[in-house]
Chains A and B, each alone.
Chain A
Amino acid sequence: AQSVSQHNHHVILSEAASLELGCNYSYGGTVNLFWYVQYPGQHLQLLLKYFSGDPLVKGIKGFEAEFIKSKFSFNLRKPSVQWSDTAEYFCAVNPGGYQKVTFGIGTKLQVIP
């Protein structure tokens, strides 16, 4: 069965710092990859997705993620975080051809003004 590992459970950054959140998955076949975000008091929503093609994908609010197949990784990045990026971020994997979506444990990001 597939699994998702997120290495950082709680990250604290100052505004304008760069962000990278790690995500590794275990599944040998074709996968679709996602980052979801949950802002305080709001429901989970899609931040960005990778299905195929360019392994560097861009999402909303300046976020991007890079799929490195050889490393089974899909790390999330943002060059300069803002206070409004304070949220919990979840990496998720969906094996190609299947509907099941498996989530990581989540990373809580706190951005200090």
Chain B
Amino acid sequence: GAGVSQSPSNKVTEKGKDVELRCDPISGHTALYWYRQRLGQGLEFLIYFQGNSAPDKSGLPSDRFSAERTGESVSTLTIQRTQQEDSAVYLCASSPGEAGRTGELFFGEGSRLTVL
């Protein structure tokens, strides 16, 4: 597609349930990022992919969080046994990944997660 697509746009779940968030990056973008934005806070880095591999997953808050990417395309962020503190907007961004454009991120609209 023309831009980064995320789904679902809104998700309300009960504490303890698992959720899966999906990101479709811009075609041809090799780098893909996940960020979390809690209410009133900045963007918190979670993980990034270069191709299929994740060189930096240092931002994942706990082992309840995992992410994968298939091909140089779709990525899913999975949160197991959700907690109320997981409530946030989860943002996905993709980047061409080429030298000279590192850090140029194209963001999706985000997935708003509410854990009751």
B33 touches A101 (CB 8 A): yes
Residues of A within 8 A of B110 (CB): 43
Within 8 A of A (CB), among B72-109: 91, 93, 95, 97, 100, 102-109
* Contact A32/B102 with A101-B33, A105-B42 known, Cβ cut-off 8 Å: yes
Q: In the complex the two chains form, is B43's CB within 8 Å of A43's CB?
A: no
Complex interface: chain B residues within 8 A of A101 (CB):
33, 45, 48, 103, 105
A34–B95 Cα gap in the complex (Å)?
A: 14
Does chain B have a CB within 8 A of A45? yes
Complex-state Cα separation, A102 to B46, whole angstroms: 10
Closest-CB distance, A78 to chain B (whole angstroms): 21
Q: Mark A22-62, 1 if CB is under 8 A from B, else 0.
A: 00000000001010100000011110010100000000000
B45→A102 contact, CB < 8 A: yes
A4 to chain B minimum Cβ distance, whole angstroms, is 8
Task: Tell me which residues across on chain B come within 8 A of A92, comparing CB atoms.
Answer: 103
Number of interface residues, chain B, beta carbon within 8 A: 27
> Which among B41, B56, B107 has the highest number of chain A CB atoms within 10 Å?
B107
Are B107 and A44 in contact, with the CB atoms below 8 A?
yes
Assess whether B31 is interfacial by the CB under 8 Å rule.
yes
- Residue A99 is within 8 A (CB to CB) of chain B in the complex: yes
Which 6 pairs, one residue from A and one from B, show the smallest C-beta to C-beta distance? A94-B103, A105-B42, A103-B43, A44-B107, A43-B107, A32-B103
User: What residues make up the interface of A, taking CB atoms closer than 8 Å to B?
Assistant: 32, 34, 36, 43-46, 49, 51, 90, 92, 94, 96, 98-106
Binding site for A on B (CB under 8 A): 3-4, 31, 33, 35, 41-43, 45, 48, 50, 55-56, 91, 93, 95, 97, 100, 102-110
